[in-house]
Amino acid sequence: MTKPVALITGASRGLGAELSKIFSLTHHIIAVARTIGALEALDDEIKSKGGSCTLAPIDLTDEKATAQLCRSIFDRWGTLKIWAHTAIHAAPLGPVMTIDSSDWNKSVKNNVTALAHFIPMVTPLLGDDSEVIFFEDKTIMKKFSSIYGATKAAQIHIAKTWQNETKSTGPRIHIFQPNPMPTALRGRFYPGENRNDLQSIDLEAKRLVSLLDM
C-alpha cells in the first residue's frame, strides 16, 4: 500500500526536521529547504528508521522552482495528505529607527510573498481531508524584532484568512502555537537565555502532531 505524502517546507532543521521525522513513520516525506547538506542528513536519518523521503533543495521565493515542485508532486503522487509550513526568514534585530530596506524586502519576500504565491500552487494537491499546518509565534520579544514580527504576523493573517475560507470545504487549516524551544532562531532573539529551561524540539514536535487528532 502506498503511503500518504507529507510536504514539509523548511525541513532542514529545527521544528521542520523533527516534524519530518515524526510524519515519516506513516507518510512519505517531501522535504523542502535550501540547505542541501542538512536535507541529506535528514534523509539519512529517516531512511535509517525505515522511512522514505524525497529531497527538494529549492528556494521558496523561486516561483518557477515551486511550480515545478508542485507539478512533480501531482505527476508522481497526485495529492498531499499533509503540508506543514515551518520556513521562516528572521532579519537581524534592531530598533525600528534603523530598519534596513534590504532586510525588510528580503523578509517580506520570504515570509509573505513566497507564501502568497505558493498557496495557489499547492491547493490543487490538497483534498478536503488534507491537513495544513502553520505555526504562530507569540513569544517573540517586544523590542528590536519589528521586521520579523510584522512579516510573521502577515504570514499568519494569510493562514487565518484561508482557514476561515475553507472551514466548510477543506482542507483543514491548523495554526498552532509552539512552546519555546532551543532553536537557532530563538537563540538569535534570546542569546542569554538558559536553553535547558526550554522544551526539547522533538518532544514539542510530538505534542504539536498530537493536536491533529489523526
pLDDT of 190 over the 90 cut = no
> How many CB atoms are closer than 10 A to CB 37?
9
Q: What is the pLDDT of residue 150?
A: 94
Find the helix packing angle between 146-165 and 101-108, rounded to 10°. 20
Q: What is the pLDDT of residue 185?
A: 87
Pairing type for strands 5-9 and 80-85 reads parallel
For the question of whether the overall pTM of this predicted structure is more than 0.85, the answer is yes
pLDDT tens for 71-122 read: 999 999 999 999 999 999 999 999 999 999 999 999 999 999 999 999 999 9
- Domains of the chain in start order, with CATH, are 5-205 (3.40.50.720)
CA distance 156 to 111: 10
pLDDT tens for 58-82 read: 999 999 999 999 999 999 999 999 9
CA distance 168 to 164: 9
* Confidence bin at 187 (pLDDT 50/70/90): confident
Residue 115 corresponds to which cell in the numbers above?
507564501
CA distance 182 to 202: 11
